[in-house]
């Protein structure tokens, strides 16, 4: 795939749109709509928002039968839940009523699930977000946070960390769809009466109420802590990682930042210290899981290899993740060894983005 460039020379657009994004006519009480709030990141984020006194509404289709991740919040006075697809006009209109900000987490997330359901991936990751953005105008909404991915950088020519202005080189349908929506947002900034921000997230790790064990750090830790043999391809390829709690805090930082700092901006979300090769991750796991049996092979199907710079996040928003990969490895290994995820092999789809079992969703 050819590298993709997205222009970020936004000074003229920022000036044109400044008067549209003023807070003079915004709703006073902060009520956050989190689309996809029952997912891996969302179920952490919404609890943090509630603890900070925000009103929270979740719109989620529960495509992985993951309603249990938020069921204990139903009696919270500041929490409400709407079941449904955000591509449905009626449901989306209801969800947008009287909210001040929108966080869009909902997507088909990851290369395997997008490859398995390509048409649904394009609809969920591109068509529905554009529909949402169009419907947000005129509703006195302050901010939109669109969660994208560092996978957009794909395959780098060298180990130089990619910053927000680096060329994009997607290696999967998942990254292609995220780039398409990014492009739509950045090319239409002067049409919005709200402030959009794009967050390119590192590969997530850490514990969540909707736990995922199909992501590198947690997957490797789980397999080895359970005493299984692990085959690892291309162990010297780089990835950036970030804990779900830190990702949630970064989203909150954008919500609470002045609009002039975040309007039309793209931020990589992660920490420079959490750029790792697979081999480096396995070395960390080996410190906490004894007798790990690992076989290294070459020629895996995933061509991605990229390091990422998070200097902009630190300098502009004064935000830096605090949880290291090793911190989380210790916690996940301990949880596995103490049978907190004893059902992981029997309820595989609950713990990863493998299959969509909701026929009403896949047939949309």
- What tens digit of pLDDT does each residue of 35-83 get? 999 999 999 999 999 999 999 999 999 999 999 999 999 999 999 999 9
Q: CA 163 to CA 309: how far, in whole Å?
A: 5
pLDDT at position 14 over 80: no
Instruction: Read off the pLDDT band of 9 (50, 70, 90).
Output: very low
Q: CA 191 to CA 306: how far, in whole Å?
A: 34
Q: CA 262 to CA 264: how far, in whole Å?
A: 6
- For Cα atoms 286, 290, 291, give the angle at the middle one, nearest 5 degrees: 105
First to last CA, the chain: 29
Q: Strand 203-205 vs strand 101-104: parallel, antiparallel, or unpaired? A: unpaired
Cβ–Cβ under 8 Å, residues 14 and 84: no
pLDDT at position 19 over 70: no
pLDDT at position 4 over 70: no
Give the residues across from 197 on adjacent strands.
145, 265
> DSSP letter string over 160-209?
PPB-TTSPB---SHHHHHHHHHHHHHHHTGGG-SSEEEEEEEPEEES--T
Instruction: Read off the pLDDT band of 21 (50, 70, 90).
Output: very low
For residue 356, the 8-state DSSP code is -
Question: In the structure encoding, which two tokens stand for residue 46, read together?
Answer: 């919404």
For residue 243, the 8-state DSSP code is E
User: Helix H segments across the chain?
Assistant: 11-17, 42-51, 89-96, 111-116, 118-122, 128-136, 173-187, 216-225, 244-255, 259-262, 278-286, 311-316, 325-337, 359-362
Summarize pLDDT for 154-190 with one digit per residue, the tens: 999 888 999 999 999 999 999 999 999 999 999 999 9
Alpha-carbon distance values, 191 to 105, 133, 187 (Å): 22, 10, 9
Strand order in the sheet with 238-243: 203-205, 238-243, 275-277
Mean pLDDT of 198-225: 96
CA gyration radius, the chain: 20
Q: CA 239 to CA 216: how far, in whole Å?
A: 10
Instruction: Read off the pLDDT band of 251 (50, 70, 90).
Output: very high
Q: CA 329 to CA 289: how far, in whole Å?
A: 9
pLDDT of residue 357: 74
pLDDT of residue 359: 52
pLDDT of residue 13: 40
pLDDT of residue 292: 83
Percent of residues, the chain, with pLDDT higher than 70: 90
Handedness of CA 214, 172, 37, 47 (dihedral sign): positive
pLDDT at position 336 over 80: yes
Instruction: Read off the pLDDT band of 1 (50, 70, 90).
Output: low
Mean pLDDT of 95-123: 96
Each residue of 313-334: b (16+ CB within 10 Å) or e? beeebebebebbbbebbbbbbe
pLDDT of residue 302: 80
């Amino acid at each position: 795939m050819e590298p993709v460039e997205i222009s970020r020379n936004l000074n003229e657009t920022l000036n044109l749109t400044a008067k549209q994004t003023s807070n003079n006519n915004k709703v006073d009480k902060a009520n956050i709509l989190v689309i996809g709030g029952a997912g891996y990141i969302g179920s952490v984020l919404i609890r943090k928002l509630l603890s900070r006194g925000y009103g929270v509404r979740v719109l989620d289709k529960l495509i992985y039968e993951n309603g249990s991740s938020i069921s204990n919040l139903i009696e919270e006075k500041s929490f409400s839940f709407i079941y449904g697809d955000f591509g449905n006009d009626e449901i989306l209109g209801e969800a947008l009523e009287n909210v001040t900000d929108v966080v869009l987490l909902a997507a088909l997330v990851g290369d395997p699930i997008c490859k398995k359901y390509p048409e649904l991936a394009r609809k969920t990751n591109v068509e529905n977000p554009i529909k949402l953005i169009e419907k947000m105008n005129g509703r006195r909404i302050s901010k939109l946070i669109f969660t994208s991915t560092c996978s957009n950088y794909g395959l780098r020519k060298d180990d130089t960390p990619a910053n927000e202005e680096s060329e994009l080189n997607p290696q999967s349908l998942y990254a292609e769809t995220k780039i398409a929506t990014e492009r739509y947002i950045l090319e239409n900034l002067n049409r919005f009466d709200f402030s959009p921000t794009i967050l390119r997230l590192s590969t997530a790790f850490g514990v969540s109420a909707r736990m995922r064990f199909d992501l590198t750090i947690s997957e490797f830790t789980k397999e080895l802590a359970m005493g299984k043999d692990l085959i690892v391809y291309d162990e010297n390829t780089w990835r950036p990682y970030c804990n779900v709690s830190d990702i949630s805090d970064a989203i909150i930082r954008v919500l609470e930042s002045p609009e002039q700092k975040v309007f039309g901006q793209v931020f990589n979300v992660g920490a420079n210290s959490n750029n790792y090769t697979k081999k480096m991750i396995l070395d960390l796991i080996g410190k906490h899981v004894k007798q790990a049996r690992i076989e290294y092979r070459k020629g895996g199907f995933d061509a991605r290899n990229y390091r990422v710079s998070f200097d902009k996040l630190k300098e502009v928003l004064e935000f830096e993740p605090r949880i290291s990969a090793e911190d989380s490895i210790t916690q996940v290994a301990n949880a596995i060894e103490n049978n907190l995820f004893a059902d992981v092999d029997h309820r595989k789809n609950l713990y990863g983005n493998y299959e969509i079992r909701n026929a009403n969703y896949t047939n949309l």
